[in-house]
Structure 1
Amino acid sequence: MEFTPTTMPWRDCYKLLTGAIIPRPIAFVSTLSKNGVANAAPFSFFTAISADPMLVCFSPMRRGTDGAKKDTLTNIEETGQFVINIVSEEIAEKMNICAMEFTPDIDEFEASGLTKAPSEKIGVPRIRESKINFECELEQVLHFGEHSGAGSLVIGRVVHVHMDDELHDQGRILAEPLHPIGRLAGNFYTRPLASTFELARIVNSGDKK
């Protein structure tokens, strides 16, 4: 079976992406509007870029109804700051509430029952219930269209990290107490630690990395 994206409706392209690229980590992004209204929204187009500088990125798509920017993107462009909160299974239901399309005057923390915690380096609140928080300053944002189905790439420079003590062990992060979840297609999620296996990387004798 073959597909040519340029000949397909964007929703079908979206289904191909979200069905094939799995599981996806979830960036639970908290922001603050220029009027001081807190926002929290999940995005599963999310990954790391580099360690030095420590850069992360996520991609908010345009609204499917009218192609408008989502509140998260607008807030980041206006303030230059955001927090990426890692999602554990314990807050999955509250995260799902924040996936709803609220109007810009609604505080998603209040709507979902999440708790605001102060950040160290930026003015945006982090989610206290999240076990890992990355405070970010906007490095760059790239836009790829202004229509439904289009998206933007938001690159953030991590300026501070918060982590529950139970997760840290001699420089490494313990995945078990994090209870991470991943996004699949449709309404489905996965517990990535439910079944794991180890595969040691093969190192070439001439590899200088």
Structure 2
Amino acid sequence: MKLENFRQWNAADLDNLEQRYRANLVNSLSGFKSANLIGTIDSSGTSNLAIVSSVVHLGANPPLIAFINRPDTVERHTLDNLTATGWFTVNQVNVDYWQQAHQTSARYPQDVSEFDPAGLTAQFSGSCPAPYVAESRLRFACQVVEQQRLAVNGTVMVIGRIVELQVANGVVVEDGYVDIEALGTVAVSGLDSYHRTERLGRLSYAKPDRPPRRID
């Protein structure tokens, strides 16, 4: 597209935007992201749920994921809990409970479990003290292996090793691919927009001497 077809902001423009407008704008730039609920528990047994859109794959051997916590200049119950216990769960959000999942972003007091006002069900496994979301169809438990505070903005990257994985029957194909679309998984864009997906197709492993080939 020609440059005249673009709306443009420079660094100073971005710095001077109204706070909420800038938050919506910049959070939209990374496109569709995964919607997951992070489950934790505190030392008194109160469960916590927080929706995040920053879960990323770090490696398969060992199986590692990471997600970003906002700066802990105010209370961050998720970060406090997983630091204290060393555990958290990741629960993929699906079409059946995306609105309830969004409600967990409200700022409830420490002694209120987001499961209750969101109308979700805590489910526990013998492998992990943190709660799963019973309504989730793809969920896994992680043991904290590292936390990195990012100097650039004070956010905290939490890295976890997957020690238990639960996926609904019938969606893991022969080569290990998980058909998350069959699970009704939703994506999120910006801070508050939720989306269904439509798969275009799977492609063969890319090689320099041949064009991509459909494998589904």
Q: CA deviation at 1:204?
A: 2.0
The Cα offsets for residues 132-166 of structure 1, whole Å up to 9 and x where unpaired, read as 111000011112369xx742111111001011113
Q: Is the 8 A contact 1:26 1:87 kept in 2?
A: yes
Distance in 1 (alpha carbons) for counterparts of 2:65 and 2:53: 13
CA RMSD of aligned residues (A): 2.6
- 2:200 alignment partner in structure 1: 196
- 1:139 alignment partner in structure 2: 145
Shift in CA distance, 199/126, structure 1 to aligned 2, threshold 3 Å: same
Shift in CA distance, 37/182, structure 1 to aligned 2, threshold 3 Å: same
Q: 1:57 aligns with which of 59, 62, 66?
A: 66
Alignment of 1:154-193 (within 5 A): 154-170=158-174, 171-193=176-198
Distance in 1 (alpha carbons) for counterparts of 2:55 and 2:180: 18
Q: TM-score when scaled to structure 2? A: 0.82
Q: TM-score when scaled to structure 1? A: 0.84
**Unpaired runs of at least 5, structure 1:** none
Q: CA deviation at 1:96?
A: 1.2
Alignment of 1:8-27 (within 5 A): 8=15, 11=19, 14-27=23-36
Local SS of the residue matching 1:49: strand
Distance in 1 (alpha carbons) for counterparts of 2:133 and 2:16: 36
Q: CA deviation at 1:186?
A: 4.2
Q: Is the 8 A contact 1:120 1:160 kept in 2?
A: no
Q: Is the 8 A contact 1:62 1:69 kept in 2?
A: no
Letter in 2 for 1:203: K
Q: Is the 8 A contact 1:27 1:58 kept in 2?
A: no
Shift in CA distance, 55/32, structure 1 to aligned 2, threshold 3 Å: same
The Cα offsets for residues 48-74 of structure 1, whole Å up to 9 and x where unpaired, read as 1100010001112137xxx31411011
1:99 aligns with 2:99: no
Letter in 2 for 1:79: T
Local SS of the residue matching 1:90: coil
Local SS of the residue matching 2:96: helix
Distance in 1 (alpha carbons) for counterparts of 2:44 and 2:206: 53
Distance in 1 (alpha carbons) for counterparts of 2:10 and 2:54: 21
Local SS of the residue matching 2:39: strand
Letter in 2 for 1:71: H
Distance in 2 (alpha carbons) for counterparts of 1:187 and 1:126: 23
| Alignment coverage as a number of residue pairs | 200
Letter in 2 for 1:110: D
Shift in CA distance, 17/46, structure 1 to aligned 2, threshold 3 Å: farther
Q: Is the 8 A contact 1:85 1:126 kept in 2?
A: yes
The Cα offsets for residues 26-67 of structure 1, whole Å up to 9 and x where unpaired, read as 22100001111000110112211100010001112137xxx3
Larger Rg: 2
Distance in 2 (alpha carbons) for counterparts of 1:128 and 1:92: 14
Letter in 1 for 2:167: M
Local SS of the residue matching 2:71: coil
